[in-house]
Structure formats: C-alpha cells, structure tokens
Amino acid sequence: MKVSDLLESRRASWRELEELCARMERWWRRRLDAAAALRFAALYRAVCADLALADAYQLPPGTIQYLHRLVGRAHNQLYRSRPFQRAAWARQLFVDVPQRLFSDNFLRLAFVLFWGPFLLSMWLVHVNPGYAESVVGEGMLNKLADDFAHPPGDRGGMDAIMAGFYVSNNAGIGLRCFAFGLFLGVGGIFMTIYNAGVLGAVFGHMSTLPQQDNFYSFVTAHGPFELTAIVLCAAAGMRLGFSMIDTRGWTRLASLRKAGEETMPVAAAAVILFVLAAMIEGFISPAPLPYEVKALTAGLSAAMLLFYFFVLGYPRGA
Amino acid sequence: MKDRLGRVKSKAKEQSGSNLLRPVRRQIMDLMSHPNGQLDSRIEIVTPENIALEYRVAGPFRRLPAYLIDLVICGLAGTVALAALTLLFTLLGLPEVGWGLSLVLWFVLNWFYGGVFETFWNGQTPGKRIMAIRVLSIDGRPINGLQAVLRNVLRAADAQPIAFYVVGLVAAAANRRFQRLGDLVCGTMVVVEEPGLFRGVVRISEPAALALAAQIPAGFQASRSLARALATYVQRRGQLLLARRIEIARHVAGPLRDRFQLAPNTDLDQLLCGLYHRTFIAERPDAAAGMGASPFADYGHPPPRNREAVDR
C-alpha cells in the first residue's frame, strides 16, 4: 500500500476528530451529545494507534508532527480538569489542616518569630525613647495619635468600605507573605519579623499615650483572628521554602511539590481568617460599643481558634 | 577536559535530582546529552494508556501576551463591576456597601482570577485561550483546582522584583519545561496547543524525477532515517534556489548515484525527488503486509454494545 493512499484513507477520520475537537474548544455549547462522544472516543483511539504506528508506516515527519498535535489536542479534551470538590476541601480545612498544624514545627517557629520581636519591640519602646520614631516614623506615629484622639464613634457609613479594604489589603499581605516563603523561607521570616517589630513599636508607643483606651478598644476585637492569620501565612511560607533545604530523602523538587500541596490549604485557611478578621475590624472594632462587647468578641474568636488548633488538631489514632 | 567534565557531571547527578539549584552550565550539558538531543521546546509524555506524544512547551513570547490580555480583561471586568456595584448600591441607598464589595472583588480578581479560570476551563484563562496555550501537569494530565490556585498565588513570588517577572524568567530559563517557581511547586507546565496544519505527501510531477524513479533498482529500500531526510528535503526544496538544492542534495544523492550506476550528469535534486516518489508515493512491494492493518483501522461505527446485549 502506498503511503499517499494510506494518508488519504486516514485523512477523513483525522479531519473529523479535528472538527470534534474544535467543537469542544468553543467558548460556549461545548458538550458533545452521546453519539458524538462515542465517536470522539473511537476516533481518538484510532489516531493514537496511527501515531504509535507512524514510524513503522514511515509517514513523513510533517505528518507525524501533525499527529502529535492532534493527539495532544484530543487528549486535553478527553481529560478535563476536576473542579473543586467541596467535600474534599471541607475535609482538608477541618481535619487535615489542624492535624498537620498541631505538630508543625514551622508554626511554632513562626509563632516565636512573631511574638518574640513583637514583645521585644514593645519593651524597647519603653526603655529606649526615640525607638518607636526610628522604627515606625514620626509622621505615622502622629497620624495614629490623631486617629485615636477620639473614642470610636459614628464614621458616617465608612464601615463597609473599610471592611472591604481590610479584606483586600490584609489577605493580600498574607498571601504575599506565603508566596515569598518560596525564597528559601527567608522572605517569610523577613516579613514576619518586620511586621512584628513595627506592630510591637506601635503598640508600645500607643500604650504610653493618653489615647491608649481608644486604641485598645479598636484593636482588641479583631486581634486574635488577624494575628493568627499572619502567623499561619508565615509558617506556611517557611515550610514551603525550607522544604527545598530539608528534603527528608526526597529530591528537592519532589519535596517542594509535596510541601506545596500541604501548605496551600493552610494559606486558604489563613485567607478565611483574614476575611473574618476584616468583618470584625470593619463593623465591630470601630463601633461605639462598650469595651466588654469587644473583649467578648476577642474571647469568642480566641476560643474558636483554640478549638480549631487543639480539639480538631489533637492527634488521633492512625 | 571532557573526561573531567563528564566526571563532574555524573557526581552532580548523584548528589541531587533537582533541576532547580544545579548550575546552568551543567544544565545545558545535560540538555545536550539528553537522548532526544533536546535543545528545542518539545517535551515527550507517555500517558497511562501508553500513548507517547509530544508537546511544545510555551515560552515567554506566548505567555507574556496571554498574561497581558488577562490583565486587560481583569481591569475591564473590575471597572465594569465597580461601576455596576456602586450604581446598584447607591440606588439602594447604601453606596459604601458597593465600594466595600468592589474592594473585595478587586482582591478576588487579583489573586484568584487565574486559578478559577484554569480550574473550570481546563487549564486555560481567556488570555491563554487566545494565545493557544494550556496548563497541564507535567505528566500530561489536566491540572486540578489546588494546582491551579497555588500556581497563581505563587505568581507573587515569580513577579519579583515589583512586577518585572525576573525571578520567574530565571527559574523558567533554568529548566527544560520552562516552569516558573509556581509551576515547579505545583508540578505544572504550560504547553502550546494549536491545531497543526496537515502536511501530507508532496506530489512529484517533474517527468525527470519520475524517469529517475523508474531507474532506481527495484530492490533498493530507503532506511527510516533516509526516508525522513527525503521528506524534509522535498518539503523545503520549493523555497531553495537551484544551486542551493544541489549543494544540499549532493551529500546524499552523490553516493546514491554512484551506487545506482546512473550517469554522472544526473540531476541530484531530481534524483532525491525520484527516490521520494519511490518511497512515499509508488507501490512498495514489501510493506503491503502490515500496513493499513491498524488495530483500530475500522472507524466506521462505534462498537454496537447495546444491540449485542439485547441479542443475548
């Protein structure tokens, strides 16, 4: 049999497969009916066989290249990405993540790296006048002092805007902190210590001013969620970065890939915490409520976190 | 020198299987010693069904336009949604809710636009679709939601410094599949997926070539590599001047002319065309046996499973 005849005889079915692929690649109405789907499968198997035998048939290289592309194109239509499975994600979020975090050394490290510099910075403000100015900047400190000059009151409907702003700003910082962990963990460490140092200086400075009641009245309610979220992001980032250094017997790439799979749900959990914190920060923290209500909010959110980390996270058998 | 380099290389292989941190020079040597001699962008994948197929990996000149298109779409969608939301909530008397929701939407677009599209559109965003590229797992399977979201969140690291994508470019240049850091972590790659042009057999119509084809001994059979070279030559000769054709054809056709005992003034270009005709177009006595007997050659109808079941 001649090669040209062979190509001629196959060409029709290749073209048909191409048409089916084009139909499935459209922007809308992409589903094939049952008959067309069966036909697609048969044609796909056939073109795979043709590709496998192309060398034995001594087909021209141009044709082989065409077959590679056609098979690749059809393969990508036959196998589709699986969308999120809600049950699997819920399981990740409420079972796997707390279990993993309970024994996660990087979370402990991130905890220390955050609270250590935070407390240190607070202490330095008290023993070392001028420290807060040099860390945070005088302009920022004056602005903070102005902002908290009055007790929380009606802000003319700014609440919703600020809640939106906190979601986009804070969760963005958290995700960036996670992603920068990729630089061998150094990015995450830097951002954690930097944030902790600045926050500590602000807290220390504000506690020396007469406005400190207004300040604490604002920060108390959303503190637990927000600070936990940033520590979680830092820990996830560090874990990602260190997985390239401490590979535990895997190749570096495989270790990195495994860490990516494990840390992404942690970052997702942190984003959820950021959103919760933003809601509290937008609507409860600036509201003219008695301090007890805000303290109660903080207590409740802290209790929820403790439940999450210690009850859901407590190691179970197997 | 070569010996020493060779030893260095094998040592490095023992130490780590990672492509990421190995110096670039060794990387290049690895590429060149790769069995497929891979200096171009082709990647071979063997699927679980044992189908070996090749993909072309997408480089920056496809991915950058795709990214820019996505940015524009993001910007437009964000602006339209902002206008719609603020208008709607202003009419409802709550303008600040509209602004707040717009900020949330901006965050979602910024961080999850790519991840959501790649999940639900099988590894493509609108920009990628326009540029005919697709994200796949490195083993050729489609990506899942986790991979799609993670590789787009890690874009923040690849985009450093600021938004110049220097980190991503360097990482991509240092590995075979052009993966940026996000791709390395997720085990994904971006491949080109365009409908290829069908290239069949070139018809030879020159009488001189056909006459030469008849003079080639009946027992002669082109080897596979020779057949491949012939096909490539004939496909391209239309773009070459006569002198250039002879210059290229000489290397193969010269020895063949002597072997076939043809006249010394035989046109070498025509001789290759004749040989091509013999190999691809004329009847090949030997090959008739297996050819065309593909196990799936009968494409006519899907197997009539239902009818059979009823019959039983």
Q: Give the CA count within 13 Å in the CB-facing half-sphere of B216.
A: 25
Write out the two tokens for A223: 């503190």
* Domain boundaries along the sequence of chain B: 60-192, 207-284
Q: How far is A208 from chain B (nearest CA, A)?
A: 33
From chain B, pick out residues whose CB is under 8 angstroms from the CB of A71.
Answer: 51, 53
Q: Quickly list H helices, chain A.
A: 3-24, 34-57, 61-78, 86-91, 97-102, 105-127, 131-136, 138-147, 159-180, 186-206, 212-219, 223-242, 252-283, 291-306
What gap in Å lies between CA A282 and CA B143, rounded to an integer? 37
Q: What confidence score (pLDDT) does residue A192 get?
A: 85
Q: How far is A123 from chain B (nearest CA, A)?
A: 34
**Residues forming a β-bridge with B133:** B192
Let me know: does A70 contact A78? Beta carbons within 8 Å.
Answer: no
Q: How far is A3 from chain B (nearest CA, A)?
A: 5
Residues 12-31 of A with CB under 8 A from B: 13-15, 18, 21-22
For B14, the closest chain A residue by CA position comes to: A251
Q: How far is B240 from chain A (nearest CA, A)?
A: 18
- pLDDT of A204 > 80? The answer is yes
pLDDT digits (tens, 9 = 90+) for A151-163: 766 566 677 888 8
Sign of CA dihedral B96, B100, B101, B102: positive
Whether residue B140 and residue A75 make contact (CB cut-off 8 A), yes or no, is: yes
Whether residue A3 and residue B279 make contact (CB cut-off 8 A), yes or no, is: yes
Query: Whose CA is closest to A169, among A274, A97, A82, A305?
Result: A274
pLDDT digits (tens, 9 = 90+) for A9-63: 888 899 999 999 988 888 777 788 899 999 999 999 999 988 888 877 778 888 8
From chain B, pick out residues whose CB is under 8 angstroms from the CB of A182.
Answer: 154, 157, 181, 185
Whether residue A159 and residue B96 make contact (CB cut-off 8 A), yes or no, is: yes
Query: Whose CA is closest to B222, among B292, B273, B294?
Result: B273
Whether residue A187 and residue B17 make contact (CB cut-off 8 A), yes or no, is: no
Whether residue B280 and residue A4 make contact (CB cut-off 8 A), yes or no, is: yes
pLDDT digits (tens, 9 = 90+) for B254-302: 888 888 888 888 888 999 999 888 888 876 554 444 444 444 444 444 4
**Residues forming a β-bridge with B137:** B188
pLDDT digits (tens, 9 = 90+) for B121-166: 889 999 999 999 999 999 888 898 889 999 999 999 998 887 889 9
**Residues forming a β-bridge with B189:** B136
What gap in Å lies between CA A241 and CA B181, rounded to an integer? 11
For A85, the closest chain B residue by CA position comes to: B145
pLDDT mean over B244-251: 90
- Interface contact A75, partner B, CB < 8 A: yes
* Residue B16 CA: distances (Å) to CA of A251, A254, B10, B186, B281: 6, 11, 11, 19, 51
pTM of the model: 0.79
Question: Interface pTM (ipTM) of the complex?
Answer: 0.85
Q: How far is B55 from chain A (nearest CA, A)?
A: 7
Q: What percent of chain B has pLDDT over 70?
A: 78
- Give the amino acid at A17: L
